[in-house]
Chain A
Amino acid sequence: MKTFKGGQHIDGFKHLSREMAIKTLPLPSQVIIPLSQHTGAVCEPVVKKGDMVKTGTLIGTSDKLISSRIHASLSGVIKDILEYNHPILGQAQAVIIDSDGNDTLDSAIVKRTKIELLSKEQLLEIIKNAGIVGLGGAAFPAQVKLNPLKPVDTLLINGVECEPYLTCDYRLMLEHTNSILKGIVLMQKIIGVETVIIGIEEDKLEAIKLLRNKCVEKKYNIEIVCLKAKYPQGAEKQLIKAILDREVPSGKLPFDVGVIVSNVGTAFAVFEAVYNAKPLYERVVTVTGKCVKQPSNLKVRIGTRFKELLDFCQGFTQTPGKIIMGGPMMGMSQYTDDLPVIKGTSGILVLSQKEVQEFSQGADQSCIRCGRCVNICPVGMLPYALSLCVEMNKLDKAAQYNPFDCIECGACTYVCPAKRQILSGIRLIKAVTR
């Protein structure tokens, strides 16, 4: 079975939500749509307070190259444009829309026909207008990624979902198999490559079987590769290494080795944008955690408050200690549930106070140089050495250990028996030496 060097299997807790079919969350009465949900330039609002919008109406755009358009996810009235809580930035400009309860679609959203006649440029324009970003987490604008500066020969589709707890991509692969494959074929056409490979971890056998059958049935030229289940298999560079045995050097991007990596969720969004002319205004979010009463996979409108998702999952069984946007390894902990779902929100994980205490117990003991972090590091760094630099307050000495190679997967910190906050230290070094 293919894999990369380093990494380790981490108990996934995926069973909490993996059998839960995707449910659609009832329309919220208000959405908060931040104008910065992607990597790149922040959008300028094109609507103002009091404007009427429909579902899918453009509300924010930017003329910068690396940016992504923002659309209304509800029909209703713009209540205000102001600073609001943001799950990544803390605070950011957001458009607040009060629902009129009708969910009237924008007039531009009609099913397209004669898809096969669309040229590469037309398809890229559609994707740009739909505001599609990479839905794996980094939220990189899709129209930029699919139009690489260098020639590429392979399109990799990331169905790994190696983050513990999260199951939204898995459910998407099971329930929207055909749409995802159609989306992949569209991306294949845009990039103009022959080879398309979908990488999926061995613990998602059903998805692998289903995708393989459909590919045979529809005669798609798509290979499905079964990968070893271990963290961080889904990291872009590690996925390329595992499937193609190519290594992307530090500071380089996948297209430097002739590869484009895209998430299955993105493929689905591309399908929706091209076939149904639907902008990216909703996504699948896994709401999970041992203290969530009913862990679920929910299709929600961008801008819905976390609180509404959690309430839909019937609240908590224990006192929550942490609310995390994303998975437990790379997600960000939040201080409130009054936050909007953004395009990059793959999951909402709630850890109970008990779990938080367990995980924070005995933090920052002295390093015993056991070498676990060195063995697990997927990019061949010496995390313990960087951590010691921070402890000894010798940040200037850290440069020799290549801190900028770090992909911040957090595996070193996970395995550390002395419970040192290695990754925090590396982030500090990166911030200070930049």
Chain B
Amino acid sequence: MKAIILGVMALSGLGLAFGVLLAWVSKKFHVQIDPRVEKVTELLPGVNCGACGFAGCSALAEALVADTAQLTACPVSGADSKKQIAQELGVCAVDLHNITPLAVVACNGGTRAKDKFKYQGLADCRVAVKTMGGPKNCKYACVGQGTCATVCPANAISMRADGIPLINPDLCVGCTKCVAVCPSNIIYMLEREKKVYIKCRSRDKGAQVMKNCKCGCIACMKCVKECPVKCISIVDNLAVIDHAKCINCQKCVAVCPTKCIAVL
């Protein structure tokens, strides 16, 4: 019995002593942290993708509070959270319109794009395109090794059975890593409000495209003629949409003979 009392007393004594010590230390060595940093960190996406160039979201939050970074540095957070952060920081929410773009794939080929040879090396697009000028006849085509899917931090990209990547718009955080890694430069960022985009990057002449895949832009001018606001033009055998003018009427989608204009 004596032993138990002794034990309890010893432990309580130790606990008390350490408690006092801790309290004293936390007072003595207290570091003043701007409470806004914590709040901004909470409002940021928290995936620590590093796309802003800072070491994670809390680092960006510190920089934002210190006013050494722009709110637009984070490509991931949505317009709503950006607005909230702007309110929190007391800055004017500068043009927050369309700052959460989405990655889209500008190739319609996949298995439909004819193979020059069957590539059997390392499953990495960057290696594939360097091997004998790439495994597809079309040098603008997706080579389908799925490197964009491997680098995606949000697991938003999966390879479809037809050999081109499918980007899930709900998961895409707009970090642009896939854009940077794609050696064929066929992934680009599209503002979410803009629904219509061209699924081809081929500058080849129409006849050549028909030979290569039958589903790319053949520069037939039909979309150009159809567009009510004249926002489509043909540059180097490729249709280009001026997204600033586009009204999402989707009339071009219906007339495209190779179905290479897509809707999000």
Contacts and interface: CB of A to CB of B under 8 A. Distances in A.
Direct touching of A and B (C-beta under 8 Å): yes
Interface of A: 89-91, 332-335, 360, 364, 390, 393, 421, 424-425, 427-428, 431-432
Contacts of A89: 133
20 contacts: A89-B133, A90-B133, A91-B133, A332-B132, A333-B132, A334-B132, A335-B116, A335-B117, A335-B132, A390-B122, A390-B124, A393-B151, A421-B121, A424-B122, A424-B124, A425-B122, A427-B127, A428-B122, A428-B126, A428-B127
A89 B139 CA distance: 14
B154 to A, nearest CB: 14
Chain A's interface: helix, strand, loop or mixed, by majority? mixed
Give the size category of B's interface with A.
10 to 19
Nearest to B126: A428
Contacts of A90: 132-134
A428 B132 contact: no
A260 B79 CA distance: 64
A393 B126 contact: no
Interface of B: 116-117, 120-124, 126-127, 130, 132-134, 150-151
B178 to A, nearest CB: 13
A225 to B, nearest CB: 37
A360 B130 CA distance: 20
A428 B127 CA distance: 6
A333 B118 CA distance: 11
A414 B132 CA distance: 22
A431 B122 CA distance: 14
Contact of A432 (B121, B126, B133): B126
A390 B151 CA distance: 11
Contacts, number: 34
B133 to A, nearest CB: 3
Nearest to B115: A335
A424 B133 contact: no
B198 to A, nearest CB: 26
Contacts of B121: 421, 424
Contacts of B122: 390, 421, 424-425, 428
A424 B119 CA distance: 13
A360 B126 contact: no
Contacts of B133: 89-91
Contacts of B116: 335
Nearest to A360: B120
Q: Among the interface residues B116, B117, B127, B134, which one has the most CB atoms of the partner chain A within 10 A? A: B127
Contacts of B124: 390, 424, 428
A332 B117 CA distance: 14
B212 to A, nearest CB: 15
A431 to B, nearest CB: 6
Contacts of B151: 393
A274 B135 CA distance: 43
A333 B123 CA distance: 17
A431 B126 contact: yes
Nearest to B121: A424
A323 B225 CA distance: 49
A427 B131 CA distance: 11
Nearest to A356: B120
A226 B130 CA distance: 38
A112 to B, nearest CB: 41
Q: Among the interface residues A90, A390, A425, which one has the most CB atoms of the partner chain B within 10 A? A: A90
Q: Among the interface residues B122, B123, B127, B150, which one has the most CB atoms of the partner chain A within 10 A? A: B122
Contacts of B134: 90
Contacts of B150: 393
A360 B120 CA distance: 8
Given A89-B133, A390-B124, 18 more contacts: A90-B132, A90-B133, A90-B134, A91-B133, A333-B132, A390-B122, A393-B150, A393-B151, A421-B121, A424-B122, A424-B124, A424-B127, A425-B122, A427-B130, A428-B124, A428-B126, A431-B126, A432-B126
A91 B117 CA distance: 14
- Top 4 A-B pairs, shortest CB-CB distance: A90-B133, A335-B117, A424-B122, A421-B122
A421 B151 CA distance: 19
Contacts of B123: 364
A427 B151 CA distance: 18
A90 B127 CA distance: 14
